Amino acid sequence: MGDWRGDGPFKMHIPSVRLIVAWLAFAAATARGLEAAETLDFNRDVRPILAAHCFHCHGPDAEARQGELRLDDAATARRVLKAGKSGQSELVRRILAVDADERMPPVDANKPLADEQKQILTRWIQEGAGYQTHWSFVPPVRSEIPEVKQAAGARGAIDRFILKRLEAADLTPSTDAERVTQLRRAALDLTGLPPTPAEVAEFLADKSDAAYARQIDRLLASPRYGEHMAAGWLEAARYADTDGYQNDRYRYQHAWRDWVILAYNENKPFDEFVVEQLAGDMLPGATLAQQIATGFGRNHRINSEDGSIPGEWQVEYVIDRVDTLGTVFLGLTVGCARCHDHKYDPLSQKDYYRLFAYFNNVPEWGVGPNNGNSPPFIKVPAGWPHAEPQENQFVVPEAVKLRAARTEMGNGLKRPQPGGTDTVMVMHELAEPRPTYLLKRGQYNLPDKSEVLAAGLPESLDAGSASASQNRLELAKWLVSPEHPLLARVTVNRMWQQFFGVGLVKTSENFGAQGETPSHPELLDWLARELIESGWNVKALHRDIVLSSTYRQSSAVTTRQLALDPENRWLARGPRYRLPAFALRDQALAVSGLLVEKPYGPPTKPYLPLRLWESISNNKYEQDHGEALYRRSLYTFWRRTIPPPLLTTLNAAEREVCVVRKDRTNTPLQALTMMNNVAFVEASRFLAERMLQEGGATADERIRYGFQLVTARQPTSDEYSILTGAHASFLERFQHDPADATKLLATGERPRDPSLDAIEHAAATLTASLLLNLDETSSKE
């Protein structure tokens, strides 16, 4: 892959800080807490300043570049940098200029440099003005596992990387969490469901050293694992059951979703997971399953609006594919280069359209069929995701067949044939590639026809192998080559985010110049190499993470930890976060015994507020009844323009475009959902039934049982006394007004056990609702 390091190994030595400029003497430690003696690191210390304050006019974007000066490029920047002589460097003169007309960045740019930043730039030049290739463009090398003082607490390599940084920050790791807490945390993280009392009992009874690892292996082998892992991938892959524009018509893409579940459960190596989704149709001897995997490339929105101009929308679909590739596999904001050269990263507009060319050869039509799958699509076998060998064969999709959309005179709209519920949209290559041009300002109707662009990799990422990757399959293979700088890092970072709440690179969608630098660069690279060298073994890496002491720590926080590390980036404590939306609903279904575990198939339509669709759109929601109401949230029908509010209120992504990071909020609307939504009230009702039926003969036992169902542990005596007091007052209240008990018990469709006393059941329902609303229940702790 050539030399990724640009100027070669970058070394800086302890500076002689006899700096010329008087103000420097007064400037103290930097914003990063950089010690004067510490060696400056270009990528860590300098590039972020140049990127944020200078690249806009002196960066990769040729169009916006001023004075033909590029500060992102060592060779052209030499003009203003005198290595070792900051006093003679134009850059220093300009950033320190008193005269506003001379000063850089210009006053009107609104991006003034802080004194500390001026100091760093000056020192950097004094130390030699060395450049480095941006860290994420250099392939990861296997980091040395560090020596640490507190090695006794380390269970594996991950812990040593974490301990090393903790020692530097003068923090000590927390002890292991309670055993049940560890089990619940891992079960929720690996399967999206809490452990049952029987599983907890089995674990607690197992006194061997391997007890926890045994549980982890059980969880990794559970089919629930694939369902839970798929949920995150569906958001990144913008999977939905509707087309997403205007009337937001139906599509049938669940066969692809089921492929994802199966892939996680079978522990498909991640390189194959990527290649098959990007280009499974182009693999030699491709199977039907590999072809269905390419539904990934068709999950984008499709416009069926009357009057749409097909050429405009066909371009948008390709753009969505490129941008998704950028976010989810490269961790780069390639979409910025749609309209102009990237302002911060070395991606030109031409690079963008060369990437575009990989995805521009689908035999598709820009306007959708107005309900149904858009060609190309293929038939899915009845037993999918399992296919008989004779079924598991590549199928050539039917070509686009256009028909006039309307009979009105003058209507020029043509639509393709729709694919029915037994089809899935896939990628396919045109025999003759569609010519790709650079689109000026990114507009479909402004192609630069002076040059047909061939598919190709951005120069900055491709170190000299430009001839290699000429089509989608070769692009996919390039991504998973062991020397690729980004794919493994971006992937392990998203995994870390899933288990710890924040990625090692917080900006999991952006590893470019404007993204955050990693909190633990050596660990990130170690994990990336581990993933690659294990044969891209996803379950093995998940196992490494959840077996680590870092992951198993107690999440209780001390005042000192909170003050020093409020975001828990150094991980002196375990992760503690509210559960994701899907897990919150699924957990309620599971602990109440309502959950119907039935994998795969068409989406379900659980409860939705009455006329939610009808009030603002032309579609009617036909709610399901019976067991479909209680299937995992992964299967919930996803209408992009009106996504299920229960899930989006709790921060599920909307699925309009690729999203790999969503803020977790804490709002009163979430409280209302958890208190009053029919799904949670019904779950309370059935959790109450379980408490009454299975919990024992006394109120005492029943409350303890309910508490254990939701938290996996026993209540403390304080908790117990609050709960019994609350239960007694609910009981009194319904004894006083038995009609209210009947009303409360009528919430939700599943009939109750009529042999239970209504007053007791209603009181237990409110107690159960308390249990489901506990902060601890809503959190992984």
Residues 507-546 binding other proteins (CB under 8 A) are 507, 509-510, 512-515
**In whole angstroms, how close is the CB of 737 to other proteins at the nearest point?**
8
DSSP 450-519: T-PPPP---TTTSTT-TTT--SHHHHHHHHTSTT-SSHHHHHHHHHHHHHHSS-SSS-TT--STTSPPPS
Which of 456, 643, 695, 706 is in the footprint of other proteins by CB under 8 A?
Answer: 643
Q: Which of residues 397 and 715 has its CB atom nearest to other proteins in the complex?
A: 715
| # chain residues binding other proteins, by CB under 8 A | 109
* Residue span binding other proteins (CB under 8 A) among the ranges 143-151, 285-293, 432-440, 554-562: 554-562
Q: Per rule CB under 8 A, is residue 59 in the interface with other proteins? A: no
Within 182-221, which residues bind other proteins (CB under 8 A)? none
Which of 7, 306, 451, 567 is in the footprint of other proteins by CB under 8 A?
Answer: 306
Q: Per rule CB under 8 A, is residue 245 in the interface with other proteins? A: yes
**In whole angstroms, how close is the CB of 255 to other proteins at the nearest point?**
25
Binding mask 132-171 for other proteins (x = CB under 8 A): ----------------------------------------
Peptide bond into 105 cis (omega under 30): yes
Q: Which two tokens stand for residue 321?
A: 């594919």
Q: What is the dihedral of CA 75, 81, 82, 88, to 10 degrees?
A: 150
Map tokens 């850059």 to a residue: 91
**In whole angstroms, how close is the CB of 758 to other proteins at the nearest point?**
10
Q: Per rule CB under 8 A, is residue 344 in the interface with other proteins? A: yes
**In whole angstroms, how close is the CB of 409 to other proteins at the nearest point?**
7
The DSSP output letter for 553 is B
Q: Shortest CA distance to 647 belongs to which of 85, 217, 235, 276?
A: 235
Q: Which two tokens stand for residue 291?
A: 């072809």
d(CA 216, CA 212): 6
Q: What are phi and psi of 61, to 5 degrees?
A: -75, 110
Per 3-state DSSP, the chain is made up of helix, strand and coil in percentages (nearest 5) of 45, 5, 50
Within 583-642, which residues bind other proteins (CB under 8 A)? 609-612, 615-619, 641-642
**In whole angstroms, how close is the CB of 695 to other proteins at the nearest point?**
18
d(CA 101, CA 104): 9
Q: Shortest CA distance to 150 belongs to which of 142, 137, 159, 158?
A: 159
Q: Supply the angle between the helices 678-694 and 581-591 in degrees, to the nearest 10.
A: 30
Q: Per rule CB under 8 A, is residue 407 in the interface with other proteins? A: no
Q: Which of residues 430 and 616 has its CB atom nearest to other proteins in the complex?
A: 616
* Residue span binding other proteins (CB under 8 A) among the ranges 347-355, 357-365, 409-417, 418-426: 409-417
Letter string b/e over residues 407-419, b meaning 16 or more CB atoms within 10 A of that residue's CB? eeeeeebbbbbbb
* Residue span binding other proteins (CB under 8 A) among the ranges 8-16, 592-600, 643-651, 749-757: 643-651
Q: Per rule CB under 8 A, is residue 365 in the interface with other proteins? A: no
Within 92-121, which residues bind other proteins (CB under 8 A)? 110
Q: Which of residues 167 and 516 has its CB atom nearest to other proteins in the complex?
A: 516
Q: Per rule CB under 8 A, is residue 717 in the interface with other proteins? A: no
Q: Per rule CB under 8 A, is residue 20 in the interface with other proteins? A: no
Q: Per rule CB under 8 A, is residue 671 in the interface with other proteins? A: yes
**In whole angstroms, how close is the CB of 414 to other proteins at the nearest point?**
8
Q: Per rule CB under 8 A, is residue 408 in the interface with other proteins? A: yes
CB 426 within 8 A of CB 252: no
Q: Which of residues 476 and 745 has its CB atom nearest to other proteins in the complex?
A: 745
Q: Per rule CB under 8 A, is residue 371 in the interface with other proteins? A: no
The 10 Å Cβ neighbour count of residue 736 is: 9
d(CA 257, CA 275): 16
Q: Which of residues 465 and 665 has its CB atom nearest to other proteins in the complex?
A: 665
* Residue span binding other proteins (CB under 8 A) among the ranges 162-170, 254-262, 459-467, 769-777: 769-777
Which of 50, 367, 473, 589 is in the footprint of other proteins by CB under 8 A?
Answer: 367
* Residue span binding other proteins (CB under 8 A) among the ranges 118-126, 131-139, 373-381, 723-731: 723-731
DSSP 100-146: TTT-SS-GGGT-PPPHHHHHHHHHHHHTT------GGGSPP-PPPPP
Q: Per rule CB under 8 A, is residue 559 in the interface with other proteins? A: yes
Which of 83, 214, 747, 756 is in the footprint of other proteins by CB under 8 A?
Answer: 747
552-555: long-range pairs with CB below 8 Å, 24+: 552/155, 552/176, 552/177, 552/182, 552/212, 553/173, 553/174, 553/175, 553/176, 553/177, 554/174, 554/175, 554/176, 554/177, 554/178, 554/181, 555/174, 555/177, 555/181, 555/781
Within 455-514, which residues bind other proteins (CB under 8 A)? 507, 509-510, 512-514
Q: Which of residues 465 and 676 has its CB atom nearest to other proteins in the complex?
A: 676
**In whole angstroms, how close is the CB of 345 to other proteins at the nearest point?**
8
d(CA 8, CA 230): 41
Which positions ≥6 away from 746 have C-beta within 8 Å? none
Q: Which of residues 265 and 673 has its CB atom nearest to other proteins in the complex?
A: 673
Q: Per rule CB under 8 A, is residue 247 in the interface with other proteins? A: yes
Within 416-435, which residues bind other proteins (CB under 8 A)? none
Q: Which of residues 111 and 142 has its CB atom nearest to other proteins in the complex?
A: 111
Give burial (CB, 10 Å; 0-12/13-18/19+) of 68: exposed
CA torsion sign for 335, 337, 343, 348 is positive
CB 338 within 8 A of CB 471: no
Q: Which of residues 390 and 615 has its CB atom nearest to other proteins in the complex?
A: 615
Q: Which of residues 469 and 673 has its CB atom nearest to other proteins in the complex?
A: 673
